[in-house]
Chain A
Amino acid sequence: MNGTLRFYHLALAIAIASGLFVLLTGGLLAFNEVRGKVSMLVNSKQVVRLHDELRSRPKDEELKLRIRQLDLELRRETFYRLQLSRNASRALLGGLAVFLASAHFVRSSRRRLPDPLAWGARKAGEQRRTAALARYAVAGAFALVAATAVAVSTRPLNLPGPAASAPDATDPNGAPHPDSQAGHPSPVSPLPSAEEMQQQWPSFRGPNGSGVASNATVPVMWDAKTGTNILWKSEVPLPGLSSPVVWGNAVFVTGADESQSSVFRFDADTGALAWSATIKLPGGARPPKPEVGEETSLAAPTPVTDGRRVYALFPTGEIAAFDFSGKQVWARNIGPLENQYGYASSLAIYQDRLLVQIDRGQAEDGQSRMLALNTQTGQPLWEVKRDVAGSWSSPVVLDVNGQPQLIACASPFVIAYNPVDGKELWRNKCLESDVAPSPVLAGNMLVAVAPNTAIVGLHPGATETAWKIAEGAPDATSPVSDGQRLYVVESSGMLTCYDIQTGKVVWTHDLDNMFYASPAIAGNALILVSRKGNSWVLETGDAYKELGKGEIGEECCASPVPLGKRLFVRGKTNLFCIEAK
């Protein structure tokens, strides 16, 4: 008995000692691990820095010595640590084995005989109770597993869906199928024909960017206060200065605030908000808020539609396509787009190419470019660098002698590209300053504006200008032409009519109001909307002739959209539809 007791105390002592040894060695190993071994050597930033320094001062002998010293130290330390790790772990295992052996001996010496009487009698139904508790435990565990599965499922899936299958081409040339107006994907051909586009107002300043709806008839007067000739007025949920675009029965408007960039669809007959869709970029990230001026806003580019989808661009760089039912088809970030007043160029479209003019900085910065995306998938098709300064003008696609040309204005060039592949067709050096107005084509005369500097007329393809007007150039509004005359309204309200072939003044009239929206022509009516919301409807012709006046009762910077019998005007808060009642 005494002998066993001696062994017991000895074993206990060994157990405690070896246990302590295990703990200490473990701590040493942990500390060794934290400092890193191979990774410390291979990824040493200090080594990289010193080597760079040596390259800039190749004759520095002292630096060379320092590098050699550091190299030796690092190597020594790494291999020492590796060896320490190996030896210490083996020692730890040995210590652990000794600890276990002695601890088991101690334990078995201490073992007492089981005493069922001390445990107490077994209760009736104890197994039922245990089973009941166990059922709850199993249910609880299942709930936990399910909850974890749900949590895992909230991770966003960042894969594009399968590429859209080729739609059947059944009605390539007809009017838009009624289904497309109802919001279903159009069963007609994937691309609209030129005739289809001409019958709608699919982009900023309408088809061809001309601002002219030749078959439209709009009322000559309206008043939002009394409701005269106001068919409907709907609040746009988010603010923006972009203009509306219309296709059939759908009116699209964009709006944005700091947390979302959205597209809204209104019903042209009733003004009801059919849907609002917010851009969701893959990965769920929000791009940073860009610097925008008060006069540009977070939703300045006007969207564009091809009757199958509506495409919207925002100064954040977000660009997305939505189908007519509001479902996002694709979204990308092509930013950053920032320039000094806030990005404002609207989108242009040619067949399946979505065209984006991104002009920033100074011409020599090389930051400006023209980008084309596939309308169906958003994939970039081509990108061309532009040696121009920042601009706020929108590109237009024009038919010049049967050839489609994408024309973009910025300081110092007017450049024309082939919209299919981005090849430059011609350029004309005739602009300067911050170009905001967009060009218009009337007949064979292309008019471009260099704000506060000049209005120039040139024939597409020419290297010289046909005429140049040195004063009266507006800084924001784009001009409009009925084919013979050119109408230009300056920000101050001075409206001038020029002969489009010669650039000579025909008449002028001071409207004495601030103007930001570009004028539009519907039939033979020239429509102007001032910043205060006052409108003038004039008759196009060789003299100033006022047909009527309109009032929407709120500020307006977006350009008016005439189509058919209606005129759409986007004010600061509301979208108005004006139709003769």
Chain B
Amino acid sequence: MIWLLAAQRFPPPEFTETGHSLPGFLAPLPRGPWLEHLDVAVLVGALALASWLALRHRSRRGIVALGIFSVLYFGFWRKGCICSIGSIQNIAQGLADSSFGVPATVLVFGLAPLVFALVFGRVFCSAVCPHGALQDLMLLKPVSVPVWLEHGLRLIPYTYLGLAMIFAATGGGYIICQYDPFVTIFRLSGSALMVSCGIGLLVLGIFVGRPYCRFLCPYGVLLGMASNFSKWRVRITPDTCTQCRLCEQSCPFNAINASTVETPSRTVKTDKRRLAAMILLLPVLLGLGGWLGGVTGKHLAGRHRTVHLAERVYLEESGAAKGTTDASAAFRITGAPVESLYADARMVQDRYVLAGRLCGLWIGLVVGGKLIVLAIRRKRHDYEADQTRCVACARCFRSCPQELQRLGLPVPEGAPLAPPS
């Protein structure tokens, strides 16, 4: 097949009889920049409102209403793109590749929720993120996930974050965008696989609270880490906790940490030894992760367009594969030397090895860190919302008798009350 670049084979016409003039053609413009500014304003406004609703006003109804607004605006109106979850990939690529520009809108979308999380906690997740709000609305019959299982599954979003960073930074594509299940719902179209995943997650979300947020969302990792150090945070009780246990089963997301039951002191020694073992294990995990990440990284490079093309061209050149693909045929038309393609692909592979090592180190750090944290003896006096996992959904407030008292609602019989502070 000979593909020739367009040549002007036929001369321009001369309309001598009719004097016909050439028609122009339409060039519809993309949506104007002011709409981008509007999006940013709405985002920041919604974040502020969510913070106030969750921390100050303490209103579940308000959170739900804001959530519905976010689903409608950020979800169905803006079709779920640009979103904060995906924007971290743009930022990663911008930091790694100096020729890649990140527009200001994307920067704000990526960083504003993190800033709010540093100050107020995960208010983004509560009612501003359309994915989270959608899942929140779907939750009808919460089934509790065992806490230990939740801890294990939490490794997935950390891994997803690491992988997303690898691919974004090396120019291998945005896997968060490619595998986002909810954007197909917002756009009302998509590949059959992704639509089914979206529907599947929604159905799952009827029973398991916020499955994407807890077990998949890579941005949630960052929000959780930021929220850990927030200045103000969601409190279950408006003032004092009486350890009445009434809020224990009110959180569908396992985000309430109960007060610690007295543990026998004979276990102190084993606990201390275990903690030491976990600390010693950390460098081992870092080494193992870094090494394995580098090895795997080289193979992940096959996902990058250049490497994929180079591999295909090499197979054709050495006779191991017959015929050409669209991509290899397009490459050969350009007439570029094969050796330069191989050289480019090797450079990309090297980037992937480095990125893989970093990702492996990251996962090793996360696993090691989790094991250490799980080995620490903690003493907690009150029932608290977990700093990392609480998404500020405001479901737990109404179960606290102090809150009911504050609102002037009838308190259940026998519920202990502390004098309001």
Q: Would you call B311 and A158 a contact (CB within 8 A)? A: yes
CB-based nearest B residue for A162:
B346
Q: Which residues of A contact B159 (CB under 8 A)?
A: 145
Interface string of B259-287 (1 = CB under 8 A from A): 01111100100010000000000000100
Binds A, one of B4-12, B28-36, B312-320: B312-320
Asked if A282 is an interface residue, CB under 8 A from chain B, the answer is yes
Q: Would you call B371 and A26 a contact (CB within 8 A)? A: no
CB-based nearest B residue for A123:
B261
Q: Which residues of B contact A123 (CB under 8 A)?
A: 261
Interface residues on A, range: 35 or more
Asked if B41 is an interface residue, CB under 8 A from chain A, the answer is no
CB-based nearest A residue for B190:
A33
Q: How far is the CA of A33 from the CA of B293 in the complex (A)?
A: 39
CB-based nearest A residue for B149:
A137
Residue in B137, B199, B311 whose beta carbon sits within 8 Å of that of A26 in the complex: B199
Q: Would you call A149 and B374 a contact (CB within 8 A)? A: no
Binds B, one of A113-121, A166-174, A178-186: A113-121
Nearest Cβ in chain B — how far from A140, in angstroms? 6
Asked if A62 is an interface residue, CB under 8 A from chain B, the answer is no
Q: How far is the CA of A139 from the CA of B261 in the complex (A)?
A: 26
Asked if A85 is an interface residue, CB under 8 A from chain B, the answer is yes
Specify the main secondary structure of chain B where it touches its partner: helix
Interface string of A115-158 (1 = CB under 8 A from B): 01001001111111011011111111110011001101101011
Asked if A285 is an interface residue, CB under 8 A from chain B, the answer is yes
Q: How far is the CA of A330 from the CA of B317 in the complex (A)?
A: 12
Q: Known interface pairs A86-B188, A145-B155, A378-B318. Does A131 touch B375 (Cβ–Cβ under 8 Å)? A: yes
Residue in B141, B156, B318, B378 whose beta carbon sits within 8 Å of that of A282 in the complex: B318
Q: Which residues of B contact A41 (CB under 8 A)?
A: none
Asked if B249 is an interface residue, CB under 8 A from chain A, the answer is yes
Q: Would you call B299 and A281 a contact (CB within 8 A)? A: no
Nearest Cβ in chain A — how far from B405, in angstroms? 15
Q: How far is the CA of A130 from the CA of B146 in the complex (A)?
A: 9
Q: Which residues of A contact B262 (CB under 8 A)?
A: 124
Q: Known interface pairs A86-B188, A149-B292, A333-B320. Does A282 touch B314 (Cβ–Cβ under 8 Å)? A: yes
Q: Known interface pairs A114-B249, A159-B345, A317-B319. Does A122 touch B264 (Cβ–Cβ under 8 Å)? A: no
Residue of A33, A119, A158, A333 most packed against chain B (CB within 10 A): A158
Nearest Cβ in chain B — how far from A492, in angstroms? 40
Q: Would you call B296 and A149 a contact (CB within 8 A)? A: yes
Residue in B140, B302, B339 whose beta carbon sits within 8 Å of that of A103 in the complex: B140
Q: A130-B148, A142-B285, A149-B292 are in contact. List 4 more A-B contacts (CB 8 A).
A: A114-B248, A124-B263, A127-B260, A136-B148
The 8 A-B pairs of least Cβ separation, nearest first, read A137-B152, A133-B148, A333-B319, A134-B151, A141-B155, A283-B320, A89-B188, A116-B245
Residues of chain A whose beta carbon lies under 8 Å from any beta carbon of chain B = 26, 33-34, 85-86, 89-90, 93, 100, 103-104, 107, 113-114, 116, 119, 122-128, 130-131, 133-142, 145-146, 149-150, 152-153, 155, 157-160, 162-163, 281-283, 285, 317, 330-335, 378-379
5 A-B residue pairings within 8 Å (CB atoms): A116-B246, A123-B261, A124-B262, A133-B146, A141-B152
Residues of chain B whose beta carbon lies under 8 Å from any beta carbon of chain A = 76, 137-138, 140-141, 146-149, 151-153, 155-156, 159, 188-189, 192, 195, 199, 244-250, 258, 260-264, 267, 271, 285, 288, 292-293, 295-296, 298-300, 302, 307, 310-311, 314-315, 317-321, 339, 342-343, 345-346, 349, 360, 363, 367, 370-371, 374-375, 378, 399, 412
